[in-house]
Structure 1
Amino acid sequence: MKGVLSRIGIGSATVDTILPTDTVRAGDSVQAEVHVEGGSTDQEIDAVYFALETEYKSDEGYKDAIVDQWQLTEPFTIEAGEKRRFETTIDIPRETPVTTRSTAVEIETGLDISMAIDPGDEDYIEVEPTHRTQAVFDALDSLGFSLHSSSCEASAGSLFTTSATFVQEFEFRPERGEFTGQVDEVGLVPVFDDDRLTLYLEVDRSAGLLSEVTDADERHTTLPIDDSDPEAIEPRLEARIRELS
């Protein structure tokens, strides 16, 4: 009877991932401990696995997305009441979304058990931008722009050179400086390809009601980012925004 109950999750083994911090930077790694505790009966564990998850907006509504997933262990048996501990390194991909009020990221740890409900553990983490993306944000701040909103959305294959199913867009508005009154908004999408970062940049101009209605006030461009120095990025970003405003 205990075996039957464990297959439906009652008295089954449990898993818990312990992170040293809940704040990580995209592109970095974090050490973690995984604790597995046996339930009321012996169980065959096919694998301990991880999934890095978020969600994005599509035409059909919000969808779950797996940023990355990987397996920690080979099959093993966990005896009733037994406790096991595994140490591992979790790599946070560069394309992991930056967490904001509207974007959440979690690490899901699961036990793969055949013919049974997989026990799991969920840990929400705060993801900071990569160093190069942060340098872009710092350059925009120097130009007088402040982050207004951010969202993950289904990628438009005709626009973005990426195989990802979604991208994260950041929208900045001018609060001071020369672009106040000239630009309504600057939208940017960072896309990583190998070791390169490409910004897909959209400038929404303050061009009057007719242009707003027809979307003629929006212009697009791309900008490769090869370093993490805000002072080097700022004049290039300023020139592109000026060209499109």
Structure 2
Amino acid sequence: MLWNYMSFSKIGTARVDLILPKDTYSPGDIIKGYYFIVGGARKQQVNRIESDFILFNQTEGTKKVIDFTTILTSKMITSAEENTFPFAFKIPFDIPFSSNDVSYYFHTRIAFHKGIESKDQDSIIIV
């Protein structure tokens, strides 16, 4: 029962962190990084890892998913185990540069068996 509560409240859930080599890119650049995943309090099955590339327009207060990447897997991650998965993403050519009004970030989610989820967010600058 305690494990079910911990899983539902995300206590002891595995964590995901998208690791990028830098934070400034240009349109057309290919970003090569990796997902760093650390196991939680008990063994969990990873179903997928998703990253949305999001444009945030601060003036309008709107967010727009520009593109996304998904990795499907059935990897079991044991307690406190560290894993990496490769990440590659091509910045679209036809997007505006970062400014006071426009910013970009990757919103990353890792989905586990039984619907448990962990999230991460990484900002980048487009010049």
TM-score under structure 1 normalisation? Answer: 0.47
What residue number does 1:88 align with?
Answer: 87
1:29-65 Cα deviation digits (max 9, x unpaired): 011021001100111211011110123489xx53321
Alignment of 1:34 onto 2:25:
no
Which residues of 2 match residues 1-12 of structure 1 at below 5 A?
Answer: 1-12=2-13
Query: 2 CA distance for matches of 1:52 and 1:73?
Result: 18
Alignment of 1:126 onto 2:107:
no
* 2:57–2:101 contact (8 Å) kept in structure 1: no
* Larger helix fraction of residues: 1
The 1:124/1:57 distance shift into structure 2, 3 A limit, reads: closer
* 2:58–2:102 contact (8 Å) kept in structure 1: no
Query: 2 CA distance for matches of 1:34 and 1:127?
Result: 21
Rg bigger for which structure?
Answer: 1
What residue number does 2:68 align with?
Answer: 69
Query: 1 CA distance for matches of 2:14 and 2:92?
Result: 30
Query: 2 CA distance for matches of 1:52 and 1:13?
Result: 22
* 1:7–1:115 contact (8 Å) kept in structure 2: no
* 1:46–1:114 contact (8 Å) kept in structure 2: yes
Query: 1 CA distance for matches of 2:5 and 2:44?
Result: 11
1:53-88 Cα deviation digits (max 9, x unpaired): 123489xx5332101011124232211111101222
* 1:47–1:76 contact (8 Å) kept in structure 2: no
Query: 2 CA distance for matches of 1:115 and 1:97?
Result: 39
What residue number does 2:14 align with?
Answer: 13
Which residues of 2 match residues 1-245 of structure 1 at below 5 A?
Answer: 1-56=2-57, 62-128=61-127
1:151-172 Cα deviation digits (max 9, x unpaired): xxxxxxxxxxxxxxxxxxxxxx
* Helix, strand or coil at the partner of 1:2: helix
Query: 1 CA distance for matches of 2:48 and 2:39?
Result: 14
* Helix, strand or coil at the partner of 1:97: coil
* Helix, strand or coil at the partner of 1:72: strand
Query: 1 CA distance for matches of 2:18 and 2:11?
Result: 20
1:167-209 Cα deviation digits (max 9, x unpaired): xxxxxxxxxxxxxxxxxxxxxxxxxxxxxxxxxxxxxxxxxxx
Query: 2 CA distance for matches of 1:47 and 1:77?
Result: 12
AA matched with 1:78: I
- Which structure has the higher relative contact order (CA within 8 Å, separation 6+)? 2
What 5-or-longer segments of structure 1 have no aligned partner? 129-245
What 5-or-longer segments of structure 2 have no aligned partner? none
